[in-house]
Amino acid sequence: MLEARAHHQLKALLRQEGAARWPHHLTLSRLVARSLRRADQTQVRLSALSDPSWLVGLLVPLALSEAPVALVLSDELRQRLLQQELPRLKAVGLNLPCWEGESAPQGARLWLLSPAELAMAWQQNLLGERQLVIVEADELERALRQSLGIVVETRHWELLRRSLPAAEASLLALHERLSRRIFSHPSNPSLQIALSPEEEAPLGQLLQLLSPLPPPWPSWLESQGPGWTSWATVDPQLLQWTLHRQPLEPFEVMAGLLRKRGALMIGSELGGPGGTPWSAPAQAALGFAPQVTVHLGDPPLQDPLPIHAPQRQALPNSPDYGEHLLEHCRRLVLGQEGLTVVLIDDGPLRLDLSSALAAEFGSRVVHQTTAPESNGVLCCGWDWWLEHQQRLPVPGQVVVALLPIASLEDPLTAARVRALRLRGRDWFRELLLPEAVSRLQRGVAGLRRGGGRLALLDGRVRRRTWGRQVLEALEPWVDLPRLLPR
């Protein structure tokens, strides 16, 4: 049986290497082998920031199975698979042929896909009867939204004008009209301007009368309707803009992807409510109904996470919030021997805070760099930190200046909120708060393992009723009411 063969081969490989290893290798290999043999749907939840060496427990049963599989993973994990894990298998006589590219022959056992390539393969009906193994499943929704999105740059307008010279005058007039509307909007730090369907309608009506259209214009025409939103990114120096369009719910665009298909989902336990990577409507749209759900997390924590979250703090919209942050950050950094990470998404406020801290602590303070000093102060945004934290030293403390709650100034977030509001749903507790809690959990996962402390300087944690959910998501923790030198 495949499970027994995979268990035996992996055990022999791990014994031969003899190094300290992830404790769930054998369990994962049996789960993967069972899912492949039965062609059912299985969900495996790992702890955030798990050592990527767990990949070998996935690859051994894939090498022994004859089932055709499409493996969906990020570029970073793909490089590790190709450069480290496959040579490990080859050293013990296991060969795993991997097919890469936008298409694969029917006989190819393993087809490596990025989320963008998965979307393309699904749209072109190239997956056939392949089972799907999706790694980092909790990031799939965001990755597919970007992959399905359409970006129209200045060069695409030029290409359209040259392809259809008879419509050149009309296209130039429409482009000029859109430019006036975009640059008449009030500027914002993100340089993103939301576009309403009414503002885009004249362009869509003209394009429907023209053919053939060069890419990406056919895709832009097809992606219209209430399930999509558009915005422009402005370059104020060049006085140019780029048109973006993305789906609000990418799983609805790819509805039925997993229906009647064997699927194995491996992702962080900190995905959605209850540790599931996706919401119930998203799973229903995809056709994902796991028969087996297993949690392969870290052992229970011995010590709770120390959290400094004073009862009386300024709210982010108060005029003295910048001074509040500076005063508390100064006290937190004093006496701290290890790395301090200050997380804040508000760009101007983050730069002001970085400058003020640099005036106090000198070159120890850096902004979004992967080479901080051992006792440095690293100021960065949440997206940057979540992308780079595995390549940085474990911090001695993390300072959350602002919770990672998405701003309604972001056109995509505003459109998703508007769609929920029109259906009478609680958009904050159903969308913004769960996503913020998930990002917070992932942002402090390394800190929890390293024995550091967490400071929550966002006054809403203590002064809003939903702040309890934030603190409950960080359990186990212990209150640190007073700061002592470390």
Distance CA 432, CA 206 (A): 37
Pairing of strands 228-235, 240-247: antiparallel
Give helix 55-64 / helix 25-38 axis angle, nearest 10°.
40
Name beta bridge partners: 71.
112, 133
Pick the CATH number of 305-479 from 3.40.50.300, 3.40.50.720, 3.40.50.10130, 3.40.50.450: 3.40.50.300
DSSP character at residue 101:
S
Contacts of residue 330, defined as CB under 8 A and 6 or more positions apart, other chains included, come to 357, 360
The span from the CA of 413 to the CA of 392, in Å, is: 29
Give the helix/strand (H/E) hosting 403. none
Instruction: Show pLDDT as tens, one digit a residue, over the chain (486 residues).
Output: 899 999 898 888 888 887 667 788 899 999 999 999 999 999 998 877 677 888 999 999 999 999 999 999 999 899 999 999 999 888 888 888 999 988 888 888 999 999 999 999 999 999 999 999 999 898 899 999 999 999 999 999 999 999 999 999 999 999 999 999 999 888 778 889 999 999 999 999 999 999 899 999 999 999 988 999 999 999 988 889 999 999 999 999 999 999 999 999 998 864 444 445 577 788 888 999 999 999 887 665 557 889 999 988 889 999 999 999 999 999 999 878 889 999 999 999 999 999 999 999 999 999 999 989 989 999 999 999 999 988 898 899 999 999 999 999 999 999 999 999 999 999 999 999 999 998 998 899 888 777 789 999 999 999 999 999 999 999 889 998 876 544
Question: Is the pTM of the predicted complex or chain greater than 0.85?
Answer: yes
* Whether 42 contacts 262, CB under 8 Å: no
Q: Where exactly does CATH 3.40.50.300 map onto the chain?
A: 2-146+251-296, 305-479
Q: Does domain 2-146+251-296 have CATH number 3.20.20.70?
A: no
Q: In the chain, what is the straight-line distance between the N-terminal and C-terminal CA atoms, in Å?
A: 55
3-state secondary structure 249-264: CHHHHCCCCCCCCCEE
**CA gap 25, 234 in Å, rounded:** 48
